[in-house]
């Protein structure tokens, strides 16, 4: 019988608990080995947050923890080990006084932001259910408060390079993006549905409501010309954005965008570009739409 089979036999005789303990001991040994290696190379540079090191854990103690206090001590040692092995352990231990001060300020600001959220009137959810406000809620559920938070004010003053990642079209108001797009000669617009009206009634503008609009800058050889306002339009065929703007008011006559032909397309596109809370988090919403 090989070692793996022997281990399985022991598990079947003594239950999963003994196997879990053995596995935990192996993990602890691996942690201790890595911690020892780091200490030898860096002195006390990898000290954990509480200033302690993960000391070797007596394997006999795992199965005989007499009370809660002893359990907490053992748990603290395990957490300390994990802390020393975390990706930011070196940076925390080597942080300058200024960096530590900044970290303290930001932590305090976040606490103040928590108070800001908890002090708000609960928002109404599905069937009128009341939901207390909290900082970790969905973005669109909190967008009315985010501008008021201290953390947002700090982020707004940071240099661009300090942000981890931000798409260009997430940084600017949509009307600014549309104005930029209007000035681009090679800007094209596409849809997955033809923008045509269907008879009369509430479903007349169904395609306008359900379509997925995309913008693309294309070279002439990439064009796949199509008429978005034709029943024969094929999904993702391209139309010059300038042509779309000129023709849109003729085909979309719903009153929700007003009567000014020059702004109809803008208002409709802004509505398509901005997600509403109900659209993103509705109880019928799925990952696919």
The answer to the question of residue 289 being in a domain is: no
Residue 277's H or E segment, with its range, is helix 277-281
CA distance 173 to 166: 14
Please indicate, yes or no, if residue 286 is contained in any of the structural domains: no
Q: Is 177 in the same domain as 277?
A: yes
Q: Which of 151-165, 195-209, 230-244, 263-277 has the highest mean pLDDT?
A: 230-244
Mean pLDDT, residues 9-26: 69
As a whole number of angstroms, the distance between CA 284 and CA 169 comes to: 27
For residues 144 and 220, state if they share a domain.
no
Q: What would the pLDDT profile of 117-132 be if each residue is shown by its tens digit?
A: 999 999 887 778 888 9
Domain identity same for 48 and 142: no
Residue 255: pLDDT band by 50, 70, 90 thresholds?
A: confident
In terms of residue numbers, what domain contains 66?
Answer: 3-92
Tens of pLDDT, residues 18-68: 777 788 788 778 877 877 776 665 544 444 444 444 444 444 544 556 688
Say if 287 falls within a structural domain.
Answer: no
Residues 184 and 134 in one domain: no
State whether 173 and 152 are in the same domain.
no
DSSP bridge partners of 190: 214
Q: What pLDDT was estimated at residue 48?
A: 44
CA 27 to chain CA mean position, Å: 31
The alpha helices in 64-183, defined as continuous H runs, are 68-85, 89-93, 97-118, 139-146, 150-157, 168-171, 174-182
């Amino acid at each position: 019988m090989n070692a793996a089979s022997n281990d399985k036999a022991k598990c079947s005789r003594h239950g999963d608990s003994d196997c879990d303990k053995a596995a935990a001991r192996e993990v602890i040994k691996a942690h201790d080995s890595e911690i020892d290696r780091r200490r030898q190379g860096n002195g006390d540079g990898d000290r954990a947050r509480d200033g302690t090191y993960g000391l070797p854990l007596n394997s006999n103690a795992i199965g005989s923890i007499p009370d809660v206090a002893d359990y907490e001590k053992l748990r603290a040692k395990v957490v300390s080990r994990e802390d020393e092995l975390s990706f930011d352990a070196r940076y925390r231990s080597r942080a300058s006084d200024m960096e530590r001060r900044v970290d303290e300020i930001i932590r305090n600001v976040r606490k103040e932001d928590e108070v800001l959220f908890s002090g708000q009137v609960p928002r109404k959810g599905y069937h009128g259910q009341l939901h207390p406000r909290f900082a970790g809620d969905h973005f669109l559920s909190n967008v009315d408060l985010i501008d008021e938070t201290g953390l947002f004010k700090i982020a707004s003053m940071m240099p661009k390079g300090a942000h981890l990642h931000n798409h260009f079209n997430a940084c600017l108001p949509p009307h600014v993006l549309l104005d930029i797009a209007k000035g681009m000669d090679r800007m094209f617009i596409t849809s997955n549905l033809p923008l045509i009206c269907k008879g009369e009634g509430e479903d007349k503008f169904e395609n306008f409501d359900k379509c997925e609009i995309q913008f693309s800058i294309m070279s002439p050889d990439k064009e796949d010309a199509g008429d978005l306002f034709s029943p024969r339009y094929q999904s993702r065929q391209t139309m010059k954005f300038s042509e779309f703007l000129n023709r849109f008011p003729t085909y979309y006559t719903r009153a929700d965008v007003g009567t000014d032909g020059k702004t109809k397309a803008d208002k409709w596109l802004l509505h398509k570009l901005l997600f509403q809370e109900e659209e993103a988090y509705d109880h019928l919403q799925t990952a696919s739409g």
